[in-house]
Structure 1
Amino acid sequence: MSDAPEGPIRLCCLLWAHEGEAEALHAYEDRVLKLISEHGGEVVHRAFAENAPGQPDEVQLFRFPNQASLDAYLNDERRTALGAERDAAVARTELFPVRF
């Protein structure tokens, strides 16, 4: 087993809103994405769909220095406390590692 430190984590997040809830999805994301930098992460890019039925309403690219930083963000109590808001707005999420 290596003692080398864990490398950076790069992720893509695709988000679909419930019907008619795209603005609520964006508002929720505005709130929680502000927390990422407090955990050493960075929002590299955030894009919004325009008239693209069936496609994600929002696409995000993130960078975290390590798994501990990502876990700290995902488990942040301020983020998890907004679960009901998230559930009301977000129909589907896909999160996967990427290279950039």
Structure 2
Amino acid sequence: MPGPQKPLHLCCLLWAHADTAEALTRYEDTVLGLLPGHGGAVLSRVIGDGHGGTPHEVQILRIADRGALDAYLADPRRVALADERDRVIARTEVFDVDVRTGGPAT
């Protein structure tokens, strides 16, 4: 019998279209609010200025498994906001990460 699946940890980098950084943040406020209903949580969320090609927002997310991630991505409330997402987000990069806290062991 297989053991329990480890949760996924994702890093999400977001770049805004010109003059839409505040709208990107509002959009993310809304869609990230849907995560808990799918077994997910925001572990870290930082917002930058986007200057020099850096992302406007960086998120570290935890979600139960791929099925939960798929359900979150297909959530009708999130899908209904696709036009807003396209309007405010120029680029997104999402990749799996291994979350570690603290410094090296001494």
What root-mean-square deviation, in Å, do the aligned CA atoms of Structure 1 and Structure 2 show?
1.2
Q: Which residue of structure 2 lines up, in the alignment, with residue 15 of structure 1?
A: 14
**SS at the partner of 2:94?**
strand
Tell me by how many angstroms 1:54 deviates: 0.8
TM-score normalized with structure 1 length: 0.93
Q: Which consecutive residues of structure 2, in runs of 5 or more, have no partner in the other structure? A: 100-106
Identity of matched residues, %: 51
| Rounded Cα–Cα distance in structure 2 between residues aligned with 1:49 and 1:86 | 18
| Rounded Cα–Cα distance in structure 2 between residues aligned with 1:52 and 1:45 | 21
Q: Which consecutive residues of structure 1, in runs of 5 or more, have no partner in the other structure? A: none
| Rounded Cα–Cα distance in structure 1 between residues aligned with 2:7 and 2:67 | 10
Tell me by how many angstroms 1:50 deviates: 3.4
Larger radius of gyration: 2
| Rounded Cα–Cα distance in structure 1 between residues aligned with 2:32 and 2:63 | 13
| Rounded Cα–Cα distance in structure 2 between residues aligned with 1:19 and 1:48 | 16
| Rounded Cα–Cα distance in structure 1 between residues aligned with 2:40 and 2:72 | 8
**SS at the partner of 1:53?**
helix
TM-score normalized with structure 2 length: 0.88
The alignment of Structure 1 onto Structure 2 pairs a total of residues equal to: 99
